[in-house]
Amino acid sequence: MVRWAAFETAAPHLAAAGRRLLDRDGIGQALLATVRGEDPPRIHPIYVAIVGGRLVAFLLASAKRVDLERDGRYALHTHQDPTAPSEFTVRGRATPVRDEADLAAAAAVWSFEVDGSYALFEFSVESAVLGERSDADEWPPRYSTWSAGGAPRPTSA
């Protein structure tokens, strides 16, 4: 698993498309899937940003935060837009960020005011999938994949 900056260097087309899709509304938005033991995954809408080459999110005390603190495995998927139906997914592990300078740097560019009740998480990238479509009628998407381990990834999202 790597930081966003390393992913961006290794797969610039996927990273640029992912950044564009995450920020398509001018604010980083995505759906976060977390897991807890053998329970089914949970899906949560969250705000994300790429700050200092790191994919991060501030999270309040919640089930998603508990899941990430206990396990760390995640999948992050961009919101769907019928007028621009391309999609992007990353998977990996999330870890809490405790360094005060890193917290301050992220808070300075965040889209809302954060305080001590928020925890900052960094999402490392193990794999990424981009499904590109020029319009809603184009099917199937043209998939591009990347894996930190370099092994081929399935081309279905």
> CATH 3.40.50.300: does it fit domain 4-145?
no
The reported pLDDT for the residue numbered 157 is: 43
- Please state whether 150 falls in left (phi above 0), alpha (psi between -120 and 50) or beta: left
pLDDT digits (tens, 9 = 90+) for 15-56: 999 999 999 888 899 999 999 888 889 999 999 999 999 999
Average pLDDT, the chain: 92
For residue 152, pLDDT over 50 is answered with: no
Stated pTM of the model: 0.90
CA–CA gap between residue 11 and residue 101 (Å, rounded): 28
Cis peptide before 140 (omega within 30 of 0): yes
Domain coordinates in residue numbering, the chain:
4-145
pLDDT digits (tens, 9 = 90+) for 71-119: 999 999 998 888 889 999 999 999 999 999 999 999 999 989 999 999 9
Mean pLDDT, range 53-62, rounded to an integer: 96
Six token digits for residue 79: 């919101």
The reported pLDDT for the residue numbered 82 is: 82
Q: E-assigned strands of 35-156? A: 42-47, 49-51, 54-59, 73-78, 87-97, 119-123, 127-132, 142-147
